[in-house]
Amino acid sequence: MKKKLLIAVFACIILLPVAVMASNGGDEPAVGINIGNKAPNIIEEGINGETYDLSQLSGKLVLIDFWASWCSPCRVENPTVVAAYKNFKDKEFKNGKGFTIFSVSLDKNKASWKAAIEKDKLTWPYHVSDLKGWYAKYAMVYRVNSIPANFLIDGNGVILAKNLRGPALEQVLQQLLK
């Protein structure tokens, strides 16, 4: 009995990934938060009550940026993110046309969040938050346990890099240019 159970468990471990790949045609990456995975979609309310859907940015390189107005390291990093946006928003990439940022705030206070967007000149349109702080739905989905945190996805929504800070963000974007 033990031997049959062991064989069954082993077969599941070996065959489950094969079955998952076959079920999606074998060429679509699995949804997940690791490099090479398709990034989980984010549909969330924006600063002015509008709804933003990450999947609608298909075709562009997107930096999913987790931050908060109260986070000093985030605020120190914001000028680097702004510079990358200005330098690359209209560029052609190997797997994406243009570059944008999808900011996910872990704020609880809407006024503070909005003031930080204005003060730091975060001019891209995609700013979302459920105003639940560390309990934010997408912080949990992406397993974000410290901020700033980010995920760079290509035009197909596949994660290319994670936690690009300082000059690393610009270097990676530069390497991805056509």
* Distance set, CA 122 to CA 27, 102, 164 (Å): 36, 11, 17
Q: Write out pLDDT tens, residues 131-151.
A: 999 999 999 999 999 999 999
User: What is the structure's pLDDT at 13?
Assistant: 35
Contact 37, 31 (CB under 8 A): yes
User: What is the structure's pLDDT at 22?
Assistant: 37
Unique residue bearing structure tokens 């209209």: 90
- Phi then psi for 45, rounded to 5 degrees? -80, 140
The predicted model scores a pTM of 0.84
pLDDT under 50 in the chain at which residues?
2-24
Task: Provide the pairing of β-strand 61-67 with 149-153.
Answer: antiparallel
Backbone φ/ψ region at 173: left (φ over 0), alpha (ψ -120 to 50), beta: alpha
Give the span between the Cα atoms of 97 and 80, in whole angstroms. Answer: 21
Angle formed by the axes of helices 167-176 and 72-88, nearest 10°: 30
